[in-house]
Structures are given as C-alpha cells and as structure tokens.
Amino acid sequence: MHSIFISGAAQGIGAAVARLFYQAGYKVGIYDLNVAQAEQLAQQLGPNAQAGGLDVADYAQWQTALARFVDWAGELNILVNNAGILYSGAFEDTEIQAHQRTMQVNVNGVLNGCHAALPYLKQATFARVVNLSSASAIYGQADLVSYSASKFAVRGISEGLDVEWQKYGIRVLDVMPLFVQTAMVKDMDAGTIQNMGVHLSAEDVADEIFSCVTRKSSLFTATHQPVGLKSKFLFTLSRLSPQWVNRYSNMWLARRPD
C-alpha cells in the first residue's frame, strides 16, 4: 500500500487531497498546525489515516513528523507540500512581519519538507513530490506581492529539484491553481480576485494532484501543472506573449472595479 504525507492537511486543499487518496487506497498522513482538526479528519477517514502536528517553518518538527509517519506507514511515496498562508492588500499597508511570515511558511516550509523527506523518498519503491504553487507565480501580482513572490520561489524549487532528483527517480512537480474556494481567499483584498472570481474547488486541485502522480508514465509529465482553464490560458499566454503584453494584462486584471 502506497502512502502520502500532506502538510496543511486539516482543511481546504490538503483535506481534499487526503480524502481522495484515502479513497484510492493510500495510507494518508494528515499533518497540520491545527492538530485537533487534523485528528478529527483522520478519525472520519479510518484506520489508514494518521494525524499529527506540524509547523512547516520548523525543520525539527518536519524530522519528527516524517520519522513517525514512515514508522507507521512503512515508507513515504508521495509528499505534498500544501501548507501556506496569504496576506493581501497594498504592500505598504501590510506589516513587514506578515510579509516575512509568508516567506517562512510558503518558501521555507517547502524547502524544509523536501530536505527532510529526501532520505525516505530515496528508499521508497515509488516517489513523488508535489508542491502547491499558484497562478500567482505566472506574473507578479499587485496586492499579493509577498504571496506571489513565495509561489515563484516554489516554482523555482520544483524546477530545480525535478532536474536534480532525476538521479534518484523522484519527480518533483507543482500545481498552479488560480483562486480556490477555501478559507484562504475569504475577504481577500486584491483586484485580481474581484475581476477573475473564484471558480475552482479544493477537489479540483486534489484531482489534478492525483492525476499527475498516478500516471503510468511520467516521462512527458510537465513539471508545472496549471489547474483550470483560466490558469492554463494565463500560463500559456505568459510563455508566448512579449513581456509588455504580460505586464499590461496583469495591470488590467489588478484594476479595482469602480
């Protein structure tokens, strides 16, 4: 039985991933800052789910959580770096501590997870890493500057490790959804979400993750996986259009409705 370890799994996308993989017969690790909520979800799923506490910005907690999980599951096959936070609004109106915390969780959390998990992934019969990036990593986003920058970093980590870890037979992928119907986007203060709306569910993202890690042949699986038609369109447009077109397109999307 294959296993999957998910950070930030107590709610939202992480919980949707946990449910989907559990139904598919995986042993599921549900790790989150909110231990009580993680344990509640594990109890709902059944005996092949394990819950635990994890602050992804703390490397020592990663080491403890992964050792506990592998001791229970037998091996680590899939790591999903899902935990993340978002602050929105004008850059200068957001406290610097909030910008810094975004980097600590969204960037250092992914670095910590990948680094701590590698010894276990190398020993597994099948291994994949999926990092939660975002359509905000296609072009820098007004009113979401630190969040967007953190997801660009996740994109770079995924690209670099997907090449570097091919020697171990480990694919490192990222998924890039636009706005998803979760608590993270509630009361979000950014023109982009007002103009583009929220059309993806947590289950849509979970389906994409399941699809990209369970394909029989991963040889031609792209490192970046945009989720939804809008994300796919924006991702393709950014690759084909001149830089000035991308800039003005994003200026238009970021405008505040009157």
The catalytic position among 22, 87, 139, 147 is 147
Helix axes 202-214, 12-23, angle to 10 degrees: 50
Residue 25 is classified by DSSP as T
Q: Strand (E) positions, 19-126?
A: 27-32, 49-53, 78-81
Q: Nearest-5° angle of CA 131, CA 245, CA 249? A: 65
Q: Active-site residue 120, yes or no?
A: no
Structural element, H or E, at residue 205: helix 202-214
CB 105 within 8 A of CB 85: yes
Sheet architecture: strand order including 78-81: 49-53, 27-32, 3-7, 78-81, 128-132, 171-177, 224-227
Nearest-angstrom CA–CA distance, 221 and 240: 20
Catalytic site residues? 147
